[in-house]
Structure 1
Amino acid sequence: MKSRTYLVLFYLSILLTTFYACSQSNEPQKYIGTALDPHAGASPIDTTKFNAEYLHYSTVKINGVLPLESKYEQFLEEFGKPDSVVNNPEYDCQVYPEPYQYVYLKGSMFYLVNDSARFQCIDFRKQPDLELKTPAITLNGETTLEDMQKLFPKSVRKIRSIEDPSSPHLRFVDLGASAPITDEWWILSFDGNKLVMVELYSPC
């Protein structure tokens, strides 16, 4: 009887150890680019070339399903017919070298480049049922500044506002979209303490 009990405990301990090791091995990947990354601060970062904090573009999925860049056919299957599709005027900002269109859907906007739908922004006030899921955090209309502070304290400390009579109450957090600094980054808009809009900004 004692030997059976010992064997059960022995195999149980192996199972728990294996589970713990697997969970631990995946956990560091979850928080890459955040203050909770166990390797954060381990070595100096050249902040002229790399973001100290970032939310990698490739890890973000709309409603946990659709990547930020997908086939337009997949986009239509997930969201249905958009409200409108507008050609990009020749005099407007040229984000892409090839011709493209603006796809508008209940407060969200995507670029349609050839047969690819590429995320540009989402307004949670108009689409409270949508969210952006990442391994480290889910961004939606319930996300707070405190939630962001836990993962991206340096970025939140640099929160800014703009002198715009149409939105004097909004504040903005800029966050890298990858480890290297590029000409594309996130702008998260907060109304008071709540997240209301996420934009993947790219200057012309």
Structure 2
Amino acid sequence: MEEPSAPPQPPPLSSDFQRTPTTAGFPVSTASIINQNNSGSVRPTTASCDLNSHSPVPWSSGLCDCCDDVSSCCLTCWCPCVAFGRIAEIVDRGSTSCGVSGALYTLILCVTGCSCLYSCFYRSKLRGQYFLEESPCTDCCVHCFCQECALCQEYRELKHHGFEMSIGWHGNVERQKRIAATNPPAVQGGMTR
């Protein structure tokens, strides 16, 4: 009788092995192609970057460039809870809703008068996802002294990365699936003689 063979073991990793992480965030551009893995979760196919050699990149717009996008500027000035809720939903990849995040932001603002204690953590998360530099000062200081400008900059940054902010995370995922379904994959050149 033959003994069952042990499953093959992966080769040991060399000391110079560098782990390549999956891409942070969810780019919603027409160039991205959505793949579905066995678990059914959606992940974009984009080039990965090496964390060890990646230096922080600048923001797509400056902290005081609010006039570049008047609609997000007005939303942030008059309804910062809505702007923050939309940012938080995208940064959390749909695990929290816009309404819950916005309500918590408002509650913290009403109770403590200092909602920046909550919103600065989302700036840090956003910076981590897109490898953005911490400028012009620390995340907490930016939110403490320039709350509306910081939210407006984060909102513009997510729009720059291809998100339609008003439809939320799940709406962006559905939109990307529709785009991927209507755009057939590029056919590579066949065999030639």
Q: So what's the TM-score if we normalise by structure 1?
A: 0.23
Comparing both structures, which one devotes a greater share of its residues to strand? Answer: 1
Q: So what's the TM-score if we normalise by structure 2?
A: 0.24
Comparing both structures, which one devotes a greater share of its residues to helix? Answer: 2
